[in-house]
Chains A and B, each alone.
Chain A
Amino acid sequence: MARFTRGFTGRGHSERDARLPPGQYDTGRTWPVLTAEVTPHLDLATWTFRIEGLVERPTTWSWDEIHALPPSSYAGDIHCVTTWSKFDTHFSGVSVDTLLDAAGVQPSATHVLAFSHTAYTTNLPLAHITNGQAWIVWEYEGRPLEPAHGGPARLLVPHLYFWKSAKFIAGLRLLDHDEHGFWEQNGYHDLGDPWLEQRYQGD
């Protein structure tokens, strides 16, 4: 049970938006940037995305090849563990389902480790990136995704805290176990469901 803070009433929360998960606030039109590494500037001519690990056909797509796949979009909200949420965002790219289908997931796969063209990694249960829950996106609001926000392409898993949506995505490695990624090694939650406030290990 939380202890009350003397004098704190919380202004404006009476009209709190039902789209806000607990402990989050609406960041409005801004989009904070919280990358922990130097922002890379990746060359589209040599850019690749790869699916490897427990799949029938480890597959690598070039920038042109991944753009030739059936397009898919997300419209909705995103939530960062640092407590901002952003409503009504629009991202376009390709569904992770399309990519996994092409590679053929082996039955033993239970988790993925998403890895970036930087050293960044993050872990996710396979069941949370299938069935229309995850995308590889390269457009935000109809424009190329900026490097500051993970461009040229990032993973998008909008129902989880946004550190799971790895910037500068390079690929997905299918595993039969859970393996901590960058922030998860550093105390952050393995799943990161904003509606359950799964911010840190043990939440």
Chain B
Amino acid sequence: MDSPDADVAPRSSPWHTAKIIAIRPETPRAKTFRLALPEAMPHRAGQHCVVRLTAPDGYTASRSYSIASAPDDSAEFELTVERLDHGEVSTFLHDDVEVGDELEVRGPIGGWFVWNADSPALLVGGGSGIVPVMAMLRYARRLGRPDLVKLVVSVRTPDDLYYADEVVGPETTILYTRTAPPDFARAPGRLTAGDIPGPVAPGTTAYICGSSGFADAASEVLVDAGVPTGDIRVERFGPSG
């Protein structure tokens, strides 16, 4: 394993107050929140931050959300949040938060599931697991280096695809596991080795994000496609609501 930089996270990571400056729906169950901070919070593609809600009696609830936007010099960033029916934080963010509201955030966090745009990356996202790898695709495009990345995104149906207009491009392979759009060449079905754009160049790091079941299945597919186990980084989305 390569050794992540020891300085990727600040020694102490304070809470900041961020203002919601835009909210847009991605799918019927996912919204993107654009937040503005008093000063820039530089992040790396793939990192996450923590959102904390505080009730008047001091009760708090916190959850981690991947940053969807590419690293840049601004003091703004985006989080895409899936609404989980029993999720205390995600339902509040979806149902109650409005533009102009303030949220406490902390981060960015994580030095493992990050891509610095200095080597080839094979990105694999399942469902809501597209969020951190979308930050990597956006970063590659922003730097004018889309040649460095390949993205494979797996969703159940067309309605489940985040960033549907933006994600398409020569870097991207979309596959549907249940229902595909009309005239879509590939029959609905799970990810297979044939879906991996190949050959995978030596020195490629693979980033897999999704549910634990998806992550395990995708890991096996990549190993079958010749990617060394040690070159695969995995982020599993637990049912954190």
Contact = CB atoms under 8 A, between A and B. Distances in A.
A186 B54 contact: no
Interface stretch (A4-12, A44-52, A56-64): A4-12
A191 B72 CA distance: 33
Given A33-B236, A38-B223, A83-B63, A4 B55 contact: yes
Interface of A: 2-13, 16, 22-23, 25, 27, 30, 32-40, 80, 82-84, 119, 148, 180, 182-183, 185-187, 200-203
Nearest to A16: B59
Interface in B218-237: 219, 223, 229-230, 232-236
A23 B57 CA distance: 14
A10 B12 CA distance: 27
A36 B235 contact: yes
B146 interface: no
Chain A interface, DSSP helix/strand/loop, else mixed = loop
Given A30-B239, A83-B240, A187-B8, A3 B3 contact: no
Interface residues of B, number: 54
Query: Which of B63, B103, B112, B235 has the most C-beta atoms of chain A within 10 angstroms of its own C-beta?
Result: B112
A2 B234 contact: no
B54 A5 contact: yes
A84 B55 contact: no
B3 A185 contact: yes
B3 A202 contact: no
B6 A180 contact: yes
Given A202-B12, A202-B13, A3 B104 contact: yes
Contacts of B239: 27, 30, 32
Contacts of B109: 186-187, 200
- The 4 A-B pairs at the shortest CB distance, nearest first, are namely A187-B9, A202-B12, A32-B238, A186-B111
